[in-house]
Amino acid sequence: MSEVKTADIAKLRKLTGAGMMDCKKALQESNGDIDKAIELIRERGKAIANKRADREASEGAALAATSADKKIGAVVALNCETDFVAKNDDFVGLTNNILKVAIENKPADLEALKALKIDGRAIGDLVLDQSGITGEKFELSFYELIEGEVVVPYIHPGNKLACIVAFNKGGFDEQVGKDVAMQVAAMNPVAVDTDDVPEKVRQQEFEIGREQARLEGKPENMLDKIAQGKLQKFYKESTLMNQDFIKDSKMTISAYLKSINADLKVIAFKRVSLNA
């Protein structure tokens, strides 16, 4: 192995973010060729990622943000293995950069987001590179984007839970949007309103209700009616507009929004939670 210059080590570290010893080793193995050294570091990242493919990357950062005009919002989750790495400024910074690119480009899905570039490198490759730098498995696990007249983001302290909520119109106080976003974060609704519940979920809850009634010994001819009642309770507890407002249980979210503006409604939301 050849001797390498300190300046080249510093340059390689700046280009890749890898540790000093990793950079020195890569330069020695590449006989001082910076480009080859970069590839060696990236290949090491791939090898670590493959080696740790069965490891659980359950820590990380879940972040949300909106465009400057607040009409576009996105939420992403970048996973790693340990809370120590998740709290690192570089890790959070990378997650924020990915979020920024998502809002600017509005990719159709997670794979499309991974193909977008930051400083000339595909996001998917950048995430892979981090495995070589930290020795941990990294995974960009979640991405969603919504649009509305106003989109409000919320990040729970600790960066483990984030959500975005889109409204059909603006002109309301900032606290109103935050209240509803915190409702989504805390209560984890399955849909905005009753009509938005996926048919598969609807049928599943109905069948659960029937089975519960049967086990309770209810008459066979009453099972459907009882199951329908249980389904209505599910809608009440699990759809955002029908949930009791966590700051005032005497009104639903729908009633709360109507008290602000008779026509104000939530049109979409997205939520991601780590370790939950």
The radius of gyration of the chain from alpha carbons, rounded to an integer in Å, stands at 24
Instruction: Please check whether residues 46 and 66 belong to one and the same domain.
Output: no
In which domain, by residue range, is 137 found? 59-168
Nearest to 126 by CA among 155, 90, 176, 157: 90
Share of the chain above pLDDT 70, in %: 90
Whether 276 maps to a domain, the answer reads: no
Dist. CA 26–CA 19, nearest whole Å: 11
Instruction: Please check whether residues 76 and 121 belong to one and the same domain.
Output: yes
Q: How confident is the model at residue 253 (pLDDT cuts 50, 70, 90)?
A: very high
Dist. CA 106–CA 208, nearest whole Å: 38
Residue 183 neighbours by CB distance under 10 Å:
24
Residue 70, token pair as written in the block: 């607040």
Residue 42 has pLDDT above 50, yes or no: yes
Instruction: Please check whether residues 71 and 162 belong to one and the same domain.
Output: yes
pLDDT value, residue 62: 97
Q: What is the pLDDT of residues 149-193, one digit of tens each?
A: 999 999 999 999 999 999 999 999 999 999 999 999 999 999 999
DSSP string, 185-253: HHH--SBSSGGGS-HHHHHHHHHHHHHHHHHTT--GGGHHHHHHHHHHHHHHHHBGGGSEETTEEEEEH
pLDDT value, residue 51: 47
* Three-state SS sequence of 111-164: HHHHHCEECCEEHHHHHHHHHHHHCCCCEEEEEEEEECCEEEEEECCCCCEEEE
Q: How confident is the model at residue 34 (pLDDT cuts 50, 70, 90)?
A: confident
Share of the chain above pLDDT 90, in %: 64
CATH code for the domain of 30: 1.10.8.10
CATH code for the domain of 114: 3.30.479.20
Instruction: Please check whether residues 19 and 46 belong to one and the same domain.
Output: yes
Whether 268 maps to a domain, the answer reads: no
Domain boundary among 144, 168, 192: 168
Instruction: Please check whether residues 162 and 63 belong to one and the same domain.
Output: yes
- Between 221 and 96, residue with greater pLDDT: 96
Q: How many domains does the chain have?
A: 2
Instruction: Please check whether residues 40 and 101 belong to one and the same domain.
Output: no
- Between 214 and 159, residue with greater pLDDT: 159
Query: Is residue 158 left, alpha or beta, with left meaning phi > 0 and alpha meaning psi from -120 to 50?
Result: left
Whether 227 maps to a domain, the answer reads: no
Residue 1 has pLDDT above 70, yes or no: no
